Amino acid sequence: MIFPENRYKFSQNRVPNKKRTIFIIVIPAAVILAAVIFFLFFNNSRKVNLISKEISPADSIYELWEQQSYSEIISITEELLDKNPMDPQALIFNGFSNFYEGAEKFTLEEKIQYIDRAVISLRKAMLLKDPPYEEGIHYILGKAYYHKGRFYTDLCIDYLEKALEDGYKGEDTFEYLGLAYSDLEKYEKSAEYFNTAAEIRPSDLLFITLAQTYFNLGDNIKAEEYLIRTINRTKDENLEEKSRFLLADIYKDRKEYIKAEDQYKRILAINEKSADAHYYLGEIYDTMQDNVKARAEWRMSLKIDPSHYGAKLKLYN
């Protein structure tokens, strides 16, 4: 999983912001949640399971479904829908296949076309009386609406919670609900769903997401707990680095400067070219009134990144 580098980097054109906590909190959340979205959307193993007793498509379509040959299913079902626009099986397979085919596309422009087609087919299927596999339709519609963007978040939640009420629990249902409630800044509900997801299938990515969620709630004790669990579990150095940045911020808020210093040094052990770790080390030393060490760290930050706005501000103001 790839994360953007220098998450805390000051842009050369950034207007100075006195509220450093906004910079620390908002950007990490965006990066971490974007990684969760990427992981969910591109994990094609999470295919909805069709129950053959409920849906009895032509053998060829079912075989193609098992082979994940979504483009071929789309072609076949479009022909069927030309003859009968409300064929329930064709609508459902067309909708599901468009969603999963979209997951395989590289650009957002390509993806959204398939997502929109998936929504259209599945919403048509919902117009039928007692459509087959209704819970599966709710599940895919919920995920599709999430990927259509923030303005569809309420529909994402509605459909995924309907799927749960119907007894359908996809492997990623709780992650999507956690993300959706986070987008609405309903962090308590978001934490509830992320915790459920972590109980079912714990992962370092879920732990850091929970840490960020609790951080947004102001519960730094739980945030610290999940950051430490992330660090102990992950083999991804980028994820460890980001966990340590957030952990250091928690320690600074508590005025536990020695602990914060240790986290920045551990980041530098992972990534000796982290201009931001040097910058924040300088802030720690400045707070501890060690101006010599503080300026040395800021100079090192500028040596690594000559455009580092924060270090320039500290050294030349």
pLDDT of amino acid 71: 94
pLDDT of amino acid 192: 97
pLDDT of amino acid 4: 28
Indicate the CATH number of 1-21+222-317 among 3.10.20.740, 1.25.40.10, 3.30.390.50, 1.10.3720.10. 1.25.40.10
Every domain of the chain and the residues it spans = 1-21+222-317
pLDDT of amino acid 62: 85
- Judge whether 138 and 165 are in contact, CB under 8 Å: no
* pLDDT-flagged residues of the chain (< 70): 1-59
pLDDT of amino acid 41: 52
